Structure 1
Amino acid sequence: MATKSPLPRPEKDDETATGADLSYAPSTGSTSAPLEGRQRPSQSTLAAPSLPEGCSYGTLAKVDGDGKEAETVIWVEFAPGSRDNPFFFSKWRKVSITACATFFTFMTAYTTTAYSISEESMCRHLGCTNLQFASGIALYAWGFGIAPLMLAPLSEEFGRKWTYAAACFLFFILHLMMTLAKNMATVLVARFIIGAAGIVGATLVGGTISDIFIPAHRGLPMALFGFCAVFGTGFGAVTMAWVEVVPRLGWRWIQWIQFIVLGAFFPVCLVVMRETRATVILRRRAARLRKERGLSDGGRYLARAEIDKVKFVTAMGQSMTRPLVFLLTEPIVTFFSLWIALGWGVFYTQIAGIPYTYRKLHGFSTTQVGLVYLCICIGAIIGFAGNFIQEAIYRRRAAKDGVDARLYAPMLCGILFAVGCYINGFTSISSVHWIAPCIGLTIVLAAILNIYITAFVYLSECYGVYASSAIAGQSFARNMFGGSFTFFTQKTQMFDRLTVRWSLVMMGGFATLLAAVPFVAFAWGPRIRARSKYSKMLMAQEREQLDKERRARVSRGLDAHDAEDLEGDANDREEMAEGQENALHLVPSVAEKIV
């Protein structure tokens, strides 16, 4: 007897449903399966008004106790070049959605160091210890790690827009809770929930970009997303250090200022954000057509994602376990999650070492320490500029290397990450000018930005409609690991026992080991994907959708640039070298494979 897959069917997940005729098996009284070929409605039905654009007739076979019976349905899909299709939104809409989403990313990163720079005033006013304060940093990161496990089913059921709206509201209103807190327990609870809400700005943004940009066009918006995540981390401390040193302001006004900014952003989010999840858009359109037209066109209007749709509670359970299953069983997710998780831990250690290093070794004041965080901002700018070089390489090499053409910059940045750690570590002594460790820190941040971007872009391309689940698994590992590092860096045990110098040099050793990850992925990526249970199928599905759109556009004389496929057959080069049949012919639609 066949073993049931532990994962739910891919058409239930994050992005668009496949355009192929599917096979279905509901768990209720009857089952449905496709008939051979496509039956058309009767002559009287064909006389009905023409179907809405993008809709087409199809059939399902109902199997019950009396035998097989055909049902005529009208599939609701996007017409070629339709502006309702998130992939083909207008340029202005894509820019506005990306700007809004990445600003939320900026604010979630800003909050991280805006909180950490307020340690002295918060501990003084609330009577908390350094360890209790550090717990607020860890809980924020852990909220980031746990919440993605619930985001996929919520955004699937209610859509991306309302997930953003709810998260923005919680992120906004809980800063008021922080501001008015009378004790550390209230602060810690607020920090965890703020982190859980803020993860939308760190994880769902990657899924949103995958919703509205085809693989060939994801590089720049993903780079902007990564830039906001890293630049915001530095900018929070740079600006809020000046608030921290004013006695009548301190930590409460640090929270008040963020509360005011988020209050202004929330209505903008409600107005600008649009639904970007294709399956939700098609389901809503199908429901509207059923209400408006009923059966007058000779069949029931149906979106493919509605077939065999499970209950929300069941979908929630499936989606919450899927990122963890990916993390543990999919080699690509495991590799990149380990890389970015350990890299993020090293990053946290470097950042945590800034106040200790520059106060203890160089006698810096709070505002001077805040200015050191400009190294993060400068590193983010350099890393963002370097992404344009990576994009040029990708466009030139994609036809030969496939998705692995995105790994050239990370191969260099993995090495630079280790070099930056060593420079920062070996120069972190009082006899060396403070600018030297700043240079090392800037190199670290420029490198980590490219690693961060790659972790999102590479996984989004390898897992197509499961991009959000793969990214959620990576985010869980990254934030749980990074948050745990906080405890033995903020309390300074590691720095006191090993000294700042050797603590940071040790981090360079970890970074050296991690530098091998992109080289391994580049050398054996095709082989790893070929043995992955889902990656190969999902990449083939996304390419099949683009091929279908491109052919339809060409046949209508429309511009096919928005549906270009730079990678072509390159992702299957391992199989092609062995003389095997092209993966697209071997792999049927994902739903058929899983069923």
Structure 2
Amino acid sequence: MSSPYPDPDLKPVSQRTSLATLTNPLPDGCSYGSIPSKDASPAERVIWVEFPPDSRDNPFYFSTKRKVGITLCALIYCWYCSITASAFSIQSGAMCEDLNCPHLGAEAGIALYAWGAGIMPLFVAPVSEEFGRRPVYLVALFFLLVFHVLQAVAQNTATALVARFLAGVAGSVGTSVVGGTVADIFTPAHRGLPMMLTGFILYFATGIGGTIFAYVTTRLGWRWTWWIIVISLGACVPLFVLVMPETRSSIILRRRAKKLRTERGLSDGGRYLSHPEIEKVRFLTALKTSLTRPLIFLVTEPIVMFFSLWVALAWSVMYVQVAGLPYMMRTLYGFNTEQVGLVYLTACLGACFGYLGGYAQEYLYRRYAPTKGVEARLFTPMVAGVLFALGCFITGATARSEIHWIASAIGQVVVITAVMIIYVTAFTYVSECYGTYASSAMASQSCLRNMVGGGIAFGTTSMFKGMSVRWALILMGGIAALLALVPFVAFFYGPAIRQRSPYSRELMRQEREALDAERVQRELRGMDMTGAEDIEGEVYEKERE
């Protein structure tokens, strides 16, 4: 991928003119360059605005305290986007009885939430690039609050379902922008555990939501499910306003360049500009690209294609558990609503085991990344793929009234443990493979995952009735066994696959060149090198050779 500015002055940061050689030192991080003209006139001299080495304005090098605050806000958003899924499922029976709607309406509510969450990520990328992450969070949080109020006051099924779809649209930020936020503030070597923590919250919240709101529904009524979410979510709004800053580096650089133009004008012999300002495309063009690129990735990039299929199946099984657990436990074992709610704790237990698996994966990654590169992210996912299929087989084979319910619950724990590891892998591995295009790769996954998961959720009861719970889950186990090959193929053939990709190879190169530039500048200034760590660099250099 050639540079859009073929000018000899536009060199990587590490090769630009040293600050010490300038007669009139520029602000730290700035350097002279030029923009080639479109006609025969001389090139315009400009001053490129970059982050100074170790700058606290650079999201990669925010203070630990600031990163903790940002991560906390992101996790809170994930919590509410997930807790609402099982909350709707557990209260759907009471809601349908009150609003006189068929049970199919309840399944439609689960599916519509997933579909809303699947469509919106295609639009989020250009919006966050144009306006930043912070406005997206704040606007989405406001609408998430409003649409939960609408569910609480709904007097008919249509209102409840429309509110459900729109809540999914607002909630999509929890599974799309949150991943981007983690990538904004953590370098590739440090993304593993934050992403694992995000996955943990998604699944733990799903489990705890079913348990808590089972008791709320039976003792206070189904509307209080939504009022409790509204009250607690509203209490978090000030935290987002005060703690969540802008984390997208291109937006921060654009603002810094604009500030320097206002303060210094042309007094330093050139116009202050940032590369994101020059490379910025029109919003409608960016929106068109955002809508088409994920679909192109989905059909042309093998890594995106197969990881998306794998995580879509895993997400579908999770939705089967969310949507089908009440039917399964009531039909096979005669459980009441509160007993069904307790069974949702299997998701919490699975999330805990999955998080422990994340710690093991992080240890293996840091040990083998210097020789395996990004494929060192795939050790526990290879195990998880096998566990996923095994968990489906256990749950399906034991889903019979004459077998104690604890056997199928064990299978559900195994499934959620595996699904969580698969989900986090799909985010972390693919985001590293596609660098600055990670949002498009994530949008591909999110779209397919939620559209397929929503469709499965919509037909869960019909599938259970037509095939029986047992054979429906065994069928999914068979598909899971086939897709368990995905991480093995990526582990052994990932470098060769990326070499054939016009996107992945170049984007990984760009991200590592930025880290190399930061490392060079730190070495020249005698700074601490920890924040610029790139433990995959050795194997990356071998791939380039």
Same fold (TM over 0.5): yes
Q: Counterpart of 1:96?
A: 69
Residue 38 of structure 2 aligns to a residue whose secondary structure is strand
Distance 2:118 2:464 in 1: 26
Distance 2:512 2:103 in 1: 52
Deviation at 1:313, TM superposition (A): 1.8
Match among 408, 431, 453 for residue 379 of structure 2: 408
Report if the CA contact (8 A) 2:86-2:322 is conserved: no
Q: Counterpart of 2:491?
A: 522
What are the Cα deviations for residues 420-470 of structure 1, in whole angstroms up to 9, with x where unaligned? 111111111111111111111001001100000000000110011111111
Deviation at 1:79, TM superposition (A): 0.5
Residue 361 of structure 1 aligns to a residue whose secondary structure is helix
Matches within 5 A, 1:48-447: 50-64=25-39, 67-246=40-219, 249-447=220-418
**In terms of mean alpha carbon deviation, does 174-183 or 81-90 score higher?**
174-183
Deviation at 1:340, TM superposition (A): 0.5
Residue 146 of structure 2 aligns to a residue whose secondary structure is helix
- Residue identity opposite 1:88 in structure 2: Y
Residue 118 of structure 1 aligns to a residue whose secondary structure is helix
Report if the CA contact (8 A) 1:142-1:483 is conserved: yes
State the TM-score, normalizing by the size of structure 2: 0.96
Report if the CA contact (8 A) 1:526-1:572 is conserved: no
Matches within 5 A, 1:560-575: 560-571=529-540, 575=543
Relative to structure 1, the CA distance from residue 508 to residue 37 in structure 2 (aligned partners, 3 Å threshold; closer, same or farther) is closer
- Residue identity opposite 2:371 in structure 1: K
Deviation at 1:157, TM superposition (A): 0.6
Report if the CA contact (8 A) 1:35-1:61 is conserved: no
- Residue identity opposite 2:166 in structure 1: I
Report if the CA contact (8 A) 2:110-2:323 is conserved: no
Q: Counterpart of 1:470?
A: 441
Residue 63 of structure 1 aligns to a residue whose secondary structure is coil
Distance 2:10 2:297 in 1: 35
Report whether the alignment pairs 1:496 with 2:469. no
Deviation at 1:133, TM superposition (A): 1.6
Relative to structure 1, the CA distance from residue 36 to residue 380 in structure 2 (aligned partners, 3 Å threshold; closer, same or farther) is closer
Report if the CA contact (8 A) 1:35-1:60 is conserved: no
- Residue identity opposite 1:173 in structure 2: V
Distance 2:259 2:157 in 1: 50
Report if the CA contact (8 A) 1:346-1:511 is conserved: no
Report if the CA contact (8 A) 2:121-2:176 is conserved: yes
Relative to structure 1, the CA distance from residue 537 to residue 392 in structure 2 (aligned partners, 3 Å threshold; closer, same or farther) is same
- Residue identity opposite 2:72 in structure 1: A
What are the Cα deviations for residues 36-64 of structure 1, in whole angstroms up to 9, with x where unaligned? 678x99xxxx765x311111111222132
Deviation at 1:203, TM superposition (A): 1.1
Report if the CA contact (8 A) 1:241-1:366 is conserved: yes
Q: Counterpart of 2:521?
A: 552
Distance 2:290 2:391 in 1: 38
Deviation at 1:310, TM superposition (A): 2.4
Distance 1:376 1:353 in 2: 14
Report if the CA contact (8 A) 1:526-1:571 is conserved: no
Distance 1:343 1:434 in 2: 22
- Residue identity opposite 2:29 in structure 1: G
Deviation at 1:572, TM superposition (A): 6.2
Distance 1:265 1:37 in 2: 45
Distance 1:251 1:37 in 2: 62
Residue 371 of structure 1 aligns to a residue whose secondary structure is helix
Distance 2:194 2:75 in 1: 9
- Residue identity opposite 2:97 in structure 1: R
Report if the CA contact (8 A) 1:330-1:533 is conserved: no
Deviation at 1:34, TM superposition (A): 2.3
Report whether the alignment pairs 1:451 with 2:422. yes
What are the Cα deviations for residues 140-162 of structure 1, in whole angstroms up to 9, with x where unaligned? 00011000001011100110011
Deviation at 1:184, TM superposition (A): 1.0
What are the Cα deviations for residues 510-566 of structure 1, in whole angstroms up to 9, with x where unaligned? 111111111111111111100011000011111111111111111111111111111
Residue 74 of structure 1 aligns to a residue whose secondary structure is strand
Percentage identity across aligned positions?
55
Distance 1:468 1:530 in 2: 20
Relative to structure 1, the CA distance from residue 571 to residue 349 in structure 2 (aligned partners, 3 Å threshold; closer, same or farther) is farther
- Extract unaligned runs of 5+ from structure 1: 1-8, 10-20, 25-32, 576-580, 583-595
Q: Counterpart of 2:4?
A: 23
What are the Cα deviations for residues 65-123 of structure 1, in whole angstroms up to 9, with x where unaligned? xx231211000000110010000000111111011101100110000010110111111
- Residue identity opposite 1:370 in structure 2: G
Residue 31 of structure 2 aligns to a residue whose secondary structure is strand
Distance 2:280 2:418 in 1: 43
Deviation at 1:251, TM superposition (A): 1.7
- Extract unaligned runs of 5+ from structure 2: none
Report if the CA contact (8 A) 1:22-1:34 is conserved: no
Report if the CA contact (8 A) 1:359-1:365 is conserved: yes
- Residue identity opposite 1:556 in structure 2: R
- Residue identity opposite 1:563 in structure 2: A
Q: Which has the higher helix share?
A: 2
Q: Counterpart of 1:480?
A: 451
Report if the CA contact (8 A) 2:207-2:345 is conserved: yes
Distance 1:37 1:483 in 2: 48
Deviation at 1:284, TM superposition (A): 0.6
State the TM-score, normalizing by the size of structure 1: 0.88
Residue 332 of structure 1 aligns to a residue whose secondary structure is helix
Distance 1:431 1:571 in 2: 55
Relative to structure 1, the CA distance from residue 571 to residue 57 in structure 2 (aligned partners, 3 Å threshold; closer, same or farther) is closer
**In terms of mean alpha carbon deviation, does 401-410 or 52-61 score higher?**
52-61
- Residue identity opposite 2:440 in structure 1: S
Relative to structure 1, the CA distance from residue 435 to residue 125 in structure 2 (aligned partners, 3 Å threshold; closer, same or farther) is same
Deviation at 1:208, TM superposition (A): 0.5
- Would you say how many aligned residue pairs link Structure 1 and Structure 2? 538
**In terms of mean alpha carbon deviation, does 347-356 or 532-541 score higher?**
347-356
Distance 1:114 1:212 in 2: 32
Residue 377 of structure 2 aligns to a residue whose secondary structure is helix
Report if the CA contact (8 A) 2:46-2:273 is conserved: yes
Relative to structure 1, the CA distance from residue 508 to residue 22 in structure 2 (aligned partners, 3 Å threshold; closer, same or farther) is closer
Deviation at 1:312, TM superposition (A): 1.7
Deviation at 1:23, TM superposition (A): 2.8
Residue 298 of structure 1 aligns to a residue whose secondary structure is coil
Report whether the alignment pairs 1:513 with 2:482. yes
Aligned CA-pair RMSD: 1.8
Report if the CA contact (8 A) 1:333-1:473 is conserved: yes
